[in-house]
């Protein structure tokens, strides 16, 4: 038998054990419809359900100052020579 936090860390991509433990502390890990702590030992036949938010990512788009060979441009269209 293995702890539920280790069990989930091995099965959920990009989920650290600390995030999984925080989910358990918040009551977001259910085994057989019962909230469990992160040290719960998973048994054969247990049904494990997890509700976790994706971590927020800061997405910053930085424009590049590259020269463009603009062949034609108007209000609706731009033609750029590759």
According to the model, what pLDDT value does residue 79 have? 96
Question: Residue 4 domain-assigned?
Answer: yes
For the segment 7-29, the average pLDDT, to the nearest whole number, is 90
Which domain does 6 fall in, by range?
A: 1-54
* Domain contains 81: no
Pairing of strands 34-35, 69-73: unpaired
Task: Judge whether 67 lies within some domain.
Answer: no
pLDDT of res. 55: 67
Distance CA 25, CA 74 (A): 58
For residues 4 and 59, give the distance between their C-alpha atoms in angstroms, rounded to a whole number. Answer: 32
Report how far residue 23's alpha carbon sits from residue 1's, in angstroms, rounded to the nearest whole number: 20
User: Any idea what the CATH number is for the domain that residue 4 is in?
Assistant: 3.10.290.10
Average pLDDT of every residue of the chain: 90
């Amino acid at each position: 038998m293995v702890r539920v936090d280790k069990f989930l860390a091995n099965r959920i991509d990009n989920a650290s054990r600390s995030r999984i433990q925080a989910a358990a502390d918040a009551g977001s890990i259910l085994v057989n419809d019962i909230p469990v702590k992160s040290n719960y030992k998973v048994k054969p036949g247990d049904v494990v359900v997890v509700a976790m938010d994706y971590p927020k990512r800061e997405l910053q788009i930085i424009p590049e100052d590259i020269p463009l060979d603009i062949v034609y441009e108007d209000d609706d269209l731009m033609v750029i020579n590759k």
